[in-house]
Each structure stands twice: as C-alpha cells, then as structure tokens.
Amino acid sequence: MANGDVPDIVRAAYAELAVTDLAASRRFWVDRLGFHVSAEDAGTLYLRGYEEFVHHSLILRAGAQPACARFALRVRTPEDIDRAERFHRDRGCRTVRMPAGATKAVGETVRVHDPFGFVVEYFHDIERVEKLHQRYDLRRGASINRLDHINLVTDDVRGFCEWYSALGFGLSETIEDDDGTLYATWMFRKQTVHDVASTQGTAPRLHHLAFAVPESHHILSLCDVLGATSEHDAIERGPGRHGVSNAFYLYLRDPDGHRVEIYTTDYFTGDPHHETLRWNVNDPRRRDFWGNPVVPRWYEEASRVLDLDGNMVPLRERRSDEQRITVGADGLGVSRS
Amino acid sequence: MANGDVPDIVRAAYAELAVTDLAASRRFWVDRLGFHVSAEDAGTLYLRGYEEFVHHSLILRAGAQPACARFALRVRTPEDIDRAERFHRDRGCRTVRMPAGATKAVGETVRVHDPFGFVVEYFHDIERVEKLHQRYDLRRGASINRLDHINLVTDDVRGFCEWYSALGFGLSETIEDDDGTLYATWMFRKQTVHDVASTQGTAPRLHHLAFAVPESHHILSLCDVLGATSEHDAIERGPGRHGVSNAFYLYLRDPDGHRVEIYTTDYFTGDPHHETLRWNVNDPRRRDFWGNPVVPRWYEEASRVLDLDGNMVPLRERRSDEQRITVGADGLGVSRS
Amino acid sequence: MANGDVPDIVRAAYAELAVTDLAASRRFWVDRLGFHVSAEDAGTLYLRGYEEFVHHSLILRAGAQPACARFALRVRTPEDIDRAERFHRDRGCRTVRMPAGATKAVGETVRVHDPFGFVVEYFHDIERVEKLHQRYDLRRGASINRLDHINLVTDDVRGFCEWYSALGFGLSETIEDDDGTLYATWMFRKQTVHDVASTQGTAPRLHHLAFAVPESHHILSLCDVLGATSEHDAIERGPGRHGVSNAFYLYLRDPDGHRVEIYTTDYFTGDPHHETLRWNVNDPRRRDFWGNPVVPRWYEEASRVLDLDGNMVPLRERRSDEQRITVGADGLGVSRS
Amino acid sequence: MANGDVPDIVRAAYAELAVTDLAASRRFWVDRLGFHVSAEDAGTLYLRGYEEFVHHSLILRAGAQPACARFALRVRTPEDIDRAERFHRDRGCRTVRMPAGATKAVGETVRVHDPFGFVVEYFHDIERVEKLHQRYDLRRGASINRLDHINLVTDDVRGFCEWYSALGFGLSETIEDDDGTLYATWMFRKQTVHDVASTQGTAPRLHHLAFAVPESHHILSLCDVLGATSEHDAIERGPGRHGVSNAFYLYLRDPDGHRVEIYTTDYFTGDPHHETLRWNVNDPRRRDFWGNPVVPRWYEEASRVLDLDGNMVPLRERRSDEQRITVGADGLGVSRS
C-alpha cells in the first residue's frame, strides 16, 4: 500500500502520559474508566482495553508535571522502522533508535521529533497477551475496547495534513471555511475515520486520546457512575453525537487534566479512493450533530508535550487569521503555498 | 386512599396547547416525536402515545398565540368530579361544569381556575381505544409511550406543595436550601415520581409536558434524527440523567416554543409512607446528575397559560428572596407560616 | 380503593426461598445478578434491588431441600392485616399471626395457607433503608431495581383468578382458548401488568420470581457475563420479548433450580377500568413475541412450596382437559361453574 | 500487502440473489430490514446500507428459482483484476471477463468459478454515491450499515481455508476438534473478523449474507417489528451473542429462504500477525456464547448457487467423518493431506 520509501504504518498504537499522582490516575483510568492493567511497577502503569491483544495502549508514568511523553505508531514490518527513521532524517528531524525493551514489552523502535513538535515512536514488535475480549466478567466502567485515535493541537493544520498524507494517511474528514482555510483534519491508516487528528491552536499539545467502547449505553453508564461518586467534574463535554466521524462521544479530564474521549461506532474507510467529507466551520453540527454548544475549555485547554530528552516543548502561539494556511486546489492532497 | 372530601385523583391525564401553525406542530409532534394521531379536525389534533389506551394525552389546537389552555387530571369515579368541584369552590376558586363531549372523547368534567393561575380539568370518562403498545411497526421518533407529568412555574412553590398535598398528592422529591426555602417540588398520585411538579419563577406558566419513552436509546435516536433534518435547534437541553427523579431526559422546544421533555425510567413510589428525597439547591447534580450546566433559557422561558374564558392569564413577578416561603418543620407536609 | 371487608393490598413485596448451599446462592444472586445485601447472618441472606427503599425483597435461607417458604404481600395499613386474616379465616384457610421481627426488619404479619396451597404473608411495616437507586458505582450484574411479580403454578387457574379478583386485583392479561379455557392469568395491585400470575400445571409450585431492571441492555450484559464465566447453563430461556406484558425478559435457574426472571419495561395499568388483554393459546407470540420456541422445561419444572409448618406441600396432578375450568360469560370476572 | 502474483483483495463487496417474487423481497429487505434502494428496474433491486458509500452491496434479481448468482470481492487496483484472473486460470478455474456495466454501476470485472463451486466476481470500480450515513431520518428497520461478510457451505473446509490463505486472507477464528478436524473457518481481508466464512456441509451453498448494524438495540427493534406485523416466522435464530466473532447476531430467512444475519460489533483484526482464536467443537459457547441451542435447520438449510452460465450447481454430499480433512501442523496455514 505504501511505497518503498515510506513506512507502512498500521495504526495509532499507544501513548505515554506523565501523571503527577499515579494512585489518583489508577483510580480514574482503571477503577472508573475500566482499563485492564497489563503490568505495573513502582512508577508506571501499562494499560489496555479488552479488545487489544497486545501488551498496552496507554502508559501512565509518574512525573513532575503532566505531559504527553510521546505517542506510537505501529508499522507492518521491522524494515518499516528503518523507513520511518529515513523518512524523518531526510526531512531534518532528530531521531533516536531505542533497543527492544526500552519500552516494556515493545521491540526496537525509532523515536522522532516531528516538525510539529511531537515525539512519535515507530515500532513493529509488541508482546501479545491473553485475549480478554470475552471476559465480560472483568469488563467494567465504560468497557474499554481499544485505543482508537490521537488528537493533536497544531498551529499548522495544513502542514500537518500534508505531512501525514506523505506518510500514507487517508483524509476522512475536515473542517474548513468557504475561503479554503483548514481548521481541523481527521486522518487514517487503519480502516476507521482516524488514527491521528489535528486541531488548530497553540501548539504543540495533545488534545486528547480516544478509546473505543462497544455501545452508547456504556458511555451513559460511565456518566452515571461518575455522578454517583461525585466525580462528575471529570465530565467535560457530552455525551453527544459527533458530526465529524458520526461517533457517539464523551470527553473527560483525568486528575492531571489530560483529556480522554470515550468513543463508539464510527464507519469503515477502507475502500480505495475513500472520499473526504468536508464540513463547513459554520455548520453547528460539525462538532456536535445535535447542535449542543461546545464548552470553551474544550477548545482552549490541552496537554503539553515532551521532547526526546523529556523536556517540555515550548508553545507556539496560534496563528492569526491572516497567517492561516489555505487548502490547495488539488482535492484530497494539500500543498503548502 | 383519598378521604371523602377530596377527589380521588388517578393521574395527570392530558393537556391542551394552543399552537399558531398546526401543520408545523404536526410535523414536530407526529412526524418527529412520533405521537399517534387519534383524531384530527380542521383546527385540532388529538394525540396519544403507544402505551396509552385512551383517546388522547395531548390536544393541539390552532390559536392566535401560543399558550397552555389547560391540563387535566383523571379521577377514579364520576363522583370525584363533584368532589373536585366542591374542593375548589370551598376554597374560592371559579369552576365551570362541562358536558360530555365538550372535549372530544371525554365525558363530563369540571374545569377550575386554581389559586396559582392554572386551569385544571377534572374528568373520569374518556374513550378507550385500540391497544397499540405492541405495534412496533407504527412506532417511530422517540417511540412515545405516555404522558408522564406536567411541570408548572409558580411564584409560590410552598403554597403549591400544600395545595397538592391537600389534594392527596405525595411529595417524592424537592430542591431546598439549608434555610428551608423550597425551590421546586415533585408530587405524585400514580406510582411514579410525579404527576405535577412546580418550579419557582414568574407565574403562572407551563414549564413543560413530559412524555415517557421505553429506553434511553430512543432518546438518542430522536436527537440523531433532528440533527439529520437540521432541526437540531429544537433540542434545548440534554440528553442527560436527572438527579431529581433519576430519569434519563431530553428537553425540546416545539415550533411555538412549548417545551416538551422526553423522559425514561424513573422509580416506583407506591409504597405507603414513601419518603421524600430532598436535594440541596447547591448540589450541581440535582438538575443534571452528570453535572452538566443547564442552559439559562431552560430556567427563564416557559409557556403562558389561558384562563377559563380563553384569555391569557397575567404574569406575576418572581418573589424576592425575602418574600420566599419556608418549609414547615412537619416533615413531608408543608404549612404556610 | 378496596372495600372494608377486603385488605387493601399494595403490591407483591418479598419471597423467601430455601436454598441448599448459601455460598453458591450468594455467588449467583449477589455476585452475578447484582442484588444488594441488606443483611446476612449464619443461615440467611436478605437482599434487595437498587430501587427498593425497604429492607428486602428476597430472603434466601439455608434449608435441607430447595423450596419456596412463602411470599408476602404488603398492605396499606396495619388494619389491613386484620382484614387479610378475616378474609382467609372466613374462607376456611388456616392463618397464623406473627409478631414483629419474626421476619427480620418486618412488623407484625399474618401468614395464611391459601386454597391453592401457597403460604402468603400479609404485612404493613418494613424497615426503611438508605436510598441507593443512584449508587451506580455499586450496581452490577443486571442492575436489579426491584421485585416485580411472583408467578405461581396452580391446577385451578380460574379459581385462582376468582380468588385474587375477590382480593381486589385487576386482570391485565390472560391466555385462553376459543372454548373459554383459561391457561394463565396476570393480576395486579400496583400499577404494572402484575403482582401475581398463575400458570396451569401440577401444583402448588412457584414458577418464578421476577425482578425489574432498567433497560434491555442490562439483560444482554448479564448473559455476556454468564457466558464469560461458563455459567451459561443458568440461562434457561431468552432473552426475548414477551407477548403477554410486552416486557423484555430472561429466565435463569439458580443453583437450586429456582427460576428467576429478569424483566424490563411493562406498561401502566393504573387507569380505572383497565381493559384485560386476552391472548389466544394458539398465538405463537403470546409467550415470545418473536415466535421463538419455549424450552419444554420452562413449562415443566418449578419449585416446590412449604406449608405453615415448613413441610413440603404435596403436589396435585394437572387436571385433564375434561376437568379444566372454563371462563364465565361475565367478562373480566370469572365465576366457578 | 499481497505479493505480485496474488490480487490485493479489499473486502467482500456485494452478492446477487435470485428471488422469485421481487415485491415480496422488497417488502422484506427494504421495508422491514431497512435497506436503502440505490436503483431499481423491472426485474432488479440494487440495495445498500447507510454506511456504504458505493452503489450497492446487494442485488436482488427476479428469477425462476431462489439461488445465489455470485458474490463479489473488491480489489485495490484495476491490475488486481488481471491478477485474480491469472490466479484462477493457473489453478484450472473457468474465468469470464465482463465489461464495465455488465453489473450496473460496476466497472469491468472477472468472474471465476472456484474449485468449491462458487462464482466469485472480482472488480475494482464501482459508482460512488451520496453519503447517507447521517441521514437518521431515513434509517429504519435494523438501520443497516454495510455488508460485513459472506458465509459459505463447503464440503472441504480445510481446502477452502488453504485457498483463501493463498489469496492473502487472514484466519481469525476456527471451530476444530481435538483430532485437528476443521469444522468452520472465519477469514478476513478488511480489518474485521471476516469477509468470508466456511462451514462444513453439503455444498456448494450460500449459508448467509451478514450485514452490520450500529448497536444491539437495533436488532431487538427489528424483532419487535416482525412480531408486530406477524412476520416473526422470518426469525430463525437469535438474537444472541456469538462465541466466534463476539458479535451480537440475529438470523432471518427472506421470503425465498435466503438467510441473512444482522450483525453488530466484532473486533479489530488489522494488527500484524493477528493470532487465530481456535474454538473446540464441543464448547457450547462457540455458536452461542450464552449456550442457547441452535435450531437444526440453521445447520441444515442453505441457498443453492448458480454457475457462470446461470445454471444451478449440483450438490456434493457432506463427507463422512473418515473423509474429513485434518488441519496441518503448520499453524495458521492448512495443508491438504
């Protein structure tokens, strides 16, 4: 599918978050949301959903400040790690090879610092674990199935879209205006609406991680539990139906303010020439199909990210309207003017 | 259950709304919400839900201005109509006897103008109709089952509570503060959380009519349909879980601004000495158990009501804090100081 | 509502089952179905659902043989206990007065041995307990709300129907044939489809206890859990939609073979003159609205019952077709020929 | 993904059924199940689900006898049609090239008659149509989303598994016994549990087509509608949870006896080296995770299939136990002994 110069990326695979109180995080992610604990040690929790057959999709590591340390893309073959390294080096990005085990249960990887400020880890091997998808006796909370996607805040949505197009991602949906300004994009490798999304804003920041659950009632049940325990302040937005992606959603904030989306039922995008669905920025249904207003902090707040050395990446201001990039005339692809 | 001086009220039974464009109302109530049309003539629609085995629970009548013409309480025997008449006359209310057929499909009634400004119709007989509860092929929209309750805005919540207590209603839930001020009450005759509720404000106004549907997914589906047809502006608040009543809810506004609640699954209140659940006005979960904010217009806007002659009842201002009535020390009952 | 000679019965309130292995029963009823434990001692578990605001709706007591010890009907006032005693004594039934506390948390009662072979306990007072209906963090299994009804096997369905009609029960639904033979009846005091039901067969036996849960997905989830733990043999029939009652159902067998129905969403029957819905015994949708066949043991097997002294009541054979009683010509009521 | 000699197959894409009464079929598939009609002419209906963005996934064509005319696999590029032709010719299969338009809205194709008796059509181009996935106002019945898979009866499950492995399919699940006999296989190209499945029996026959819907309650609703219209005989099996695939299912028979599965929520299989889940033929949960028995005709009956000339393909008897093929020792692949 991808050509020889470009890594064949399978999907968004995991993320590592720095959290300041691991016990509080465990209570939120494990006891409330219902993640399965694959492993834990003094300072780290390795979590997965019930339809994930590999070691983890989320790493929570105790740290001094809340941040996203990195996110990871799984590639099809070991050689695709080399391709990922070359792809980024050729474009001036700093890269670091990591040996097997540098991340628990994961084979060798390359970590890259991309032009948008994010550390991305490419890997192929990860430990397979017992299939628990039918252990309904263990499922609880929102009955987490799997990591679905990673949503990033960037000050260059158009550049982001070009970059991931070059990496072989399809563009499923956009938010645009009549002048061609691109406000947000949804891009996929696996056959769903997205693996990575970008939203315009002060950058680089992680907007949210999204995890798929079976049905909408699992999301309502989670809200009920959070009301019952007076932890309803964790609910930031929703539940509701997204216009973009058509998924049923809920946004929560973890004890460090990291945002997580509980997400169910988007659609198949695996056909050849899957056509991009373009939403106008003035359509009130783009963010909420029922027209419910979005709370301002959902737009404003997001998690800081770390660089390859574990230092906080400085923020760049959101560009003014005049500075905004515009979509090219060439259809699905976008080109920098 | 009720003593000889007081009518034995069965439940909230129907309401009549004046609407300014009957075709638009039909589209909203019948095509979107999914009411069944029991009968219609030039200026009137008689509607019911699928688990109502009597002629109607909602009358929409073309009128010059939007208003609630009256709501009706069904009583257990024909004699209870007389008791209702005496109850109100003895307390200085104007009453009017109506012959059978004055309201289509309904037997003789008494209409009263209560001290809070509302016209209430007491009746016993109503035409039984074909049972359609299992006609799943006809159900659509939110799969409306039945009228559940009527929510009224009054400037005297405590007096309202006393009045309906005297009429034999139980008090299932309240919103209060630590000083004993009563902000809202939920009162029942049938074995659910309420038949009538009162909320404090500029009065008299109809806050909303509420109709029960089978399950929460029927409410989500209705939202999806309204998004699909770009009628999402009809959605005012929700969906969400109420703290009070524990029901899953959605509030809509019809083309005239009349508010309707789609409501599912409250609890059984039929035991003797059912204990009142008292919410503190500062508990953010009282109105939405998930802590989601209530849109201001849900508090501010409501439908005007008509008097016995069909004229708009003038509004009385909301009382100041000093004028607020306080709850008595006598438990479930409340007494005017 | 009921006249002075007849006890004013509120609803079916609790049942006591003798079980042979209390630990196994606890695992089934508490860990799997999700009952809340109100109290327990060496030989007894007192259980309730999350929308029950009184001490228990189910008592499990260790015994040598599986049986139903009794079921209980709650009455509106203490005087109704006396009325219940007189009602049964006048009709030749043995009765025993029990002091407060004879059943934990329950006030004084009368136990009667009715003509159909069942021990029924009438009580008014029962300890009120903390309201847990919104403790969604505690709910699990099928999210049990409350006891809904008790289904009994009798060899005299028509007599049973007359008896409970005399006790003031309404008749919501029947299964009959064209010759007027009555196969099963559903009878109510609270405003639902039933508190007690009767099915024709070798008697007296308890066919099942039924507990209401919020929505159909709670029933599907319970099935998934039982599959996950390889306890799927507990599933006897369903899930499915009943024709009679319109409820969504699942039948399980506990470790002693006691049958329990998990039941959701029947309809309101509280209107005056609620009309009986009569199903023909040849309509395949009467037992399952989707036409799915009923497993034979659902018809054949049921729990034995104890008498007032705790001895097993002998079984009477099912009557032959010629011996079957027929429905009277007098509409809702039935009269013994 | 696939090597140069093998067509790169995207997914199972459509099937054509011969039906004897197109009006009756329209009522079943369109009015009841809720398919969208993309096009129709005198003798043919072209149907799709609401998350299909191409012209059709099901063709119903009037014919003298019920049969499956063919099913189609979509390939990634036009060149893959040539590869599919070569693959089958090289293995002695008869193939026929069809020009664009031979199937309405579809580009050029090759039809092959495979060694198992089925006609398979390989195509790349198909007309893109308006995206209707958010037209919730049009959705009805079971809210059909898309064709998920095709289940075939073959007398050589092991050979079938080898053949599709050679075509690049992954093997997600199997039913086997301790002696290595393979009873059924589930094989995928898209990132779900399957595109094609095989079940052992008299062959070649189409066991069923399966269509994905959003959530389990859509399946329950369809059952309710079929009960309401007394068309419940169309329900053959379910609803229930599959052990294999973990999906929630319902099987129906159309007016000609063609079997259709309504299916929701299986799991992601797109990771490299996705591990096969092997069920023992004696595990009662393999076919129904809740242990409910499978009706015999679900095993016994299936649709006949047509050859390239439109003639009925003769049936071959089911092999005896001694003739059964056994799984090779080489893991996922199987080899003919």
Q: What is the pLDDT of residues D246-303, one digit of tens each?
A: 999 999 999 999 999 999 989 999 999 999 999 999 999 999 999 999 999 999 999 9
What are the tokens at C261? 């129905």
Contacts of A137 (CB under 8 A, 6+ apart): C225, C228, C229
User: Quick one: pLDDT at residue A99?
Assistant: 98
Residue among B141, B138, B105 nearest B124 (CA): B105
> Do the beta carbons of residue D306 and residue D67 sit within 8 Å?
yes
Give the closest of D217, D235, D240 to C291, CB-based: D235
- Chain A residues inside the 8 Å CB shell of B241: 220, 223-224, 227
What are the tokens at B125? 């007989």
3-state class (DSSP) for residue D19: strand
Give residue D119's pLDDT band: very low, low, confident or very high (50, 70, 90): very high
Report, as an integer, the average pLDDT of B226-237.
98
3-state class (DSSP) for residue C263: strand
Place of tokens 């009541």: C313
Q: What is the mean pLDDT of chain A?
A: 93
User: Quick one: pLDDT at residue C3?
Assistant: 60
pLDDT tens sequence across A115-138? 999 999 999 999 999 999 999 999
Residue among C35, C68, C50 nearest C209 (CA): C68
H helices present in chain D, as ranges? 22-26, 78-90, 157-166, 216-228, 296-300
Residue C331 amino acid letter: G
> Do the beta carbons of residue D259 and residue D253 sit within 8 Å?
yes
Contacts of C331 (CB under 8 A, 6+ apart): none
> Do the beta carbons of residue A45 and residue A59 sit within 8 Å?
yes
Instruction: State the maximum Cα–Cα separation within chain C, in Å, rounded to a whole number.
Output: 55
> Do the beta carbons of residue D226 and residue A276 sit within 8 Å?
no
Report, as an integer, the average pLDDT of C291-301.
95
Q: What is the mean pLDDT of chain B?
A: 93
Report, as an integer, the average pLDDT of D72-76.
98
Q: Does residue D321 carry a pLDDT above 90?
A: no
pLDDT tens sequence across A197-206? 999 999 999 9
Residue among D111, D44, D118, D97 nearest D312 (CA): D118
pLDDT tens sequence across A44-55? 999 999 999 999
pLDDT tens sequence across A7-52? 999 999 999 999 999 999 999 999 999 999 999 999 999 999 999 9
User: Quick one: pLDDT at residue B318?
Assistant: 64
User: Quick one: pLDDT at residue A189?
Assistant: 98
Report, as an integer, the average pLDDT of D8-25.
98
Shortest CA gap A265–chain D (Å):
7
Q: Tell me, rounded to whole angstroms, the distance of Cα B269 from its chain centroid.
A: 17
User: Quick one: pLDDT at residue C317?
Assistant: 80
**CA–CA separation, D137 and A55 (whole Å):** 42
> Do the beta carbons of residue C229 and residue C221 sit within 8 Å?
no
C199-212: burial string, b at 16+ Cβ within 10 Å, e else: bbbebbbbbbbbbb
Q: Does residue B234 carry a pLDDT above 50?
A: yes
> Do the beta carbons of residue D130 and residue D151 sit within 8 Å?
no
Inter-CA distances, A245 with A9, A160, A267, C42, Å: 21, 19, 7, 56
Residue among A22, A47, A46, A70 nearest A310 (CA): A70
Q: Are strands C303-304 and C205-212 parallel, antiparallel or unpaired?
A: antiparallel
Give residue D245's pLDDT band: very low, low, confident or very high (50, 70, 90): very high
User: Quick one: pLDDT at residue B77?
Assistant: 98
Residue to substitute from B271, B274, B283, interface C, most C β-carbons within 10 A: B271
Residue among B24, B33, B29 nearest B141 (CA): B33
- Chain D residues inside the 8 Å CB shell of B140: 140
Backbone torsions φ then ψ of A215, nearest 5 degrees: -140, 165
What are the tokens at A159? 């550049």
Report CB contact under 8 Å: C225, A134: no
Residue D333 amino acid letter: G
Q: Does residue A326 carry a pLDDT above 60?
A: no
3-state class (DSSP) for residue C107: coil
Report the half-sphere exposure of D315 (CA within 13 A, side-chain side).
15
Contacts of C311 (CB under 8 A, 6+ apart): none
> Do the beta carbons of residue C53 and residue B274 sit within 8 Å?
yes
Q: Are strands D9-19 and C259-264 parallel, antiparallel or unpaired?
A: unpaired
Cα-atom radius of gyration of chain B, to the nearest Å? Answer: 19
Q: Does residue B191 carry a pLDDT above 80?
A: yes
Report CB contact under 8 Å: B290, A248: no
Shortest CA gap A215–chain D (Å):
6
> Searching chain D, which residue's CA lies closest to the CA of residue C221?
D241
User: Quick one: pLDDT at residue C9?
Assistant: 98
3-state class (DSSP) for residue A173: strand
Give the percent of chain D with pLDDT over 70.
93
How many interchain CB pairs under 8 A, A with B?
58
Q: Does residue D150 carry a pLDDT above 90?
A: yes
Q: C-alpha angle D202/D206/D210, rounded to 5°?
A: 140
Inter-CA distances, A275 with A174, A187, D131, Å: 11, 12, 9
> Do the beta carbons of residue D305 and residue D203 sit within 8 Å?
no
Please enumerate residues of A whose Cβ is less than 8 A from a Cβ of C. Answer: 134-138, 215, 217, 221, 224-225, 227-229
Q: Where are any strands of DSSP class E within D213-302?
A: 235-241, 248-253, 259-264, 277-280
Question: DSSP per residue over C169-219, as a string?
Answer: -EEEEEEE-TT-BEEEEEEESSSSS-SEEEEESSBSEEEEEEEE-S-HHHH
User: Quick one: pLDDT at residue C180?
Assistant: 87
Inter-CA distances, D291 with C30, C228, D70, D238, D283, Å: 22, 11, 34, 11, 9
Dihedral angle computed from the Cα positions of residues C118, C124, C125 and C129, in that order, rounded to the nearest 10 degrees: 80
Give this prediction's pTM.
0.95
Please enumerate residues of B whose Cβ is less than 8 A from a Cβ of A. Answer: 216-217, 220, 223-224, 226-227, 230, 232-233, 235, 239-241, 243, 248, 284-285, 289-292
Residues β-bridged to residue B170? B188
Place of tokens 């050509």: A3
3-state class (DSSP) for residue A225: helix
- Chain B residues inside the 8 Å CB shell of C131: 275, 277
Give residue B265's pLDDT band: very low, low, confident or very high (50, 70, 90): confident
Residue among B259, B272, B209, B263 nearest B239 (CA): B263
Q: Does residue C17 carry a pLDDT above 50?
A: yes
> Do the beta carbons of residue A192 and residue A266 sit within 8 Å?
yes
> Do the beta carbons of residue D15 and residue D71 sit within 8 Å?
yes
Backbone torsions φ then ψ of D15, nearest 5 degrees: -140, 155
Q: How far apart are the first and last CA of chain A?
A: 28
- What's D90's DSSP letter? H
pLDDT tens sequence across B306-336? 999 999 999 998 665 444 444 333 333 333 3
> Do the beta carbons of residue D126 and residue D74 sit within 8 Å?
yes
User: Quick one: pLDDT at residue B319?
Assistant: 60
pLDDT tens sequence across A165-180? 999 999 999 999 999 8
Give residue C265's pLDDT band: very low, low, confident or very high (50, 70, 90): confident
User: Quick one: pLDDT at residue B3?
Assistant: 60
How many interchain CB pairs under 8 A, A with D?
74
**CA–CA separation, B114 and A230 (whole Å):** 40
Residue among D111, D93, D113 nearest D102 (CA): D111
Report CB contact under 8 Å: B291, A235: yes
- What's C294's DSSP letter? P
Report, as an integer, the average pLDDT of B267-277.
97
- Lowest mean per-residue pLDDT among A79-83, B194-198, B328-332, D214-218: B328-332
Q: How many CB atoms lie within 10 A of CB D230?
A: 12
Q: Tell me, rounded to whole angstroms, the distance of Cα C330 from its chain centroid.
A: 27
> Searching chain C, which residue's CA lies closest to the CA of residue B218?
C215
pLDDT tens sequence across C140-192? 999 999 999 999 999 999 999 999 999 999 999 999 999 989 999 999 999 99
Q: Does residue C334 carry a pLDDT above 70?
A: no
Residue C247 amino acid letter: A
Question: DSSP per residue over D26-77, as a string?
Answer: HIIIIIIS--EEEEEETTEEEEE-TT--BS-SEEEEE-SS-EEEEEEEEESS
Q: Are strands C36-41 and C95-98 parallel, antiparallel or unpaired?
A: unpaired
Q: Does residue C328 carry a pLDDT above 80?
A: no
User: Quick one: pLDDT at residue D333?
Assistant: 34
